[in-house]
Amino acid sequence: MNFDDVKEKMEKTLSVFENNLAEIRAGRANPAILNKIKIDYYGVPTPISQVAGISVPEARLIVIQPWDASVLKEIEKEILKADIGINPNNDGKVIRLNFPELNEERRKEIVKDIKKIAEESKVALRAIRRDAIDAAKQEQKDSVITEDELKVAEDEIQKITDKYVGEVDTLLANKEKEVMSV
């Protein structure tokens, strides 16, 4: 049985989890919060990062400087529509996003959201494990592998799953620490 496919699927699940964590606002300015926001640029939905320079000059400030000044209002409108919890400040040349200091209650809410995302990732990993074990059982049923090989395959799939669940837990703990200590 080939375990590369299982590892690849679990790697993708972990990657999606990491991307979701990057988009969570933890009190520090993180340009990843803008990743999902697209503007209508000459009729084409375009990510902000492709029409503007995005910088983080201070810990709680993102500055968006469009290369084409005509899209400034469009960027501002889409940021407001995205409801990321920050009001854009437009001075005619750049847009500034000031991240407010997080209070304790909001930090706890964010941690709860992070834990929910982590649990969804673990559920996805367990589903991949289940599918892989089912495939191995089918191979054993079809006499492709022996019962002993099935047991070895199940153990290996479980080890791979444990490794990726551990990585999710590590990422979760790091993000939780970051949110609570900002």
One domain, residues 93 and 115: no
Mean pLDDT of the chain: 86
One domain, residues 119 and 176: yes
Count CA atoms closer than 13 A to 180's CA, side-chain side: 10
Q: pLDDT digits over 73-124, tens only?
A: 888 888 888 777 778 888 888 888 887 777 788 788 888 888 999 999 999 9
One domain, residues 159 and 125: yes
> Starting at the edge strand that comes first in sequence, how are the strands of the sheet with 61-66 ordered?
52-58, 61-66, 95-98, 88-90
Phi, psi of 135 (to 5 degrees): -65, -40
For residue 87, the domain's CATH number is 3.30.1360.40
One domain, residues 108 and 164: yes
pLDDT of residue 27: 64
One domain, residues 123 and 63: no
One domain, residues 109 and 177: yes
Q: Which of 26-30, 66-70, 110-114, 123-127 has the lowest mean pLDDT?
A: 26-30
pLDDT of residue 32: 78
Pick the residue with more confidence: 6 or 104?
6
pLDDT of residue 25: 65
Domain final position from 69, 98, 127: 98
Q: Per-residue pLDDT averaged across 64-78, rounded? A: 86
Q: Which residue range(s) make up the domain with 131?
A: 4-22+103-181
For residues 18 and 10, is the Cβ–Cβ distance under 8 A?
no
One domain, residues 131 and 164: yes
Q: Is the pTM of this model over 0.85?
A: no
One domain, residues 48 and 109: no
Say if residue 182's pLDDT is above 70: no
Q: Which of 85, 90, 91, 56 is nearest to 75 (CA)?
A: 90
One domain, residues 13 and 62: no
pLDDT of residue 2: 76
Domain final position from 54, 78, 98: 98
Q: pLDDT digits over 114-163, tens only?
A: 899 999 999 999 999 999 999 999 988 888 888 899 899 999 999 999 99
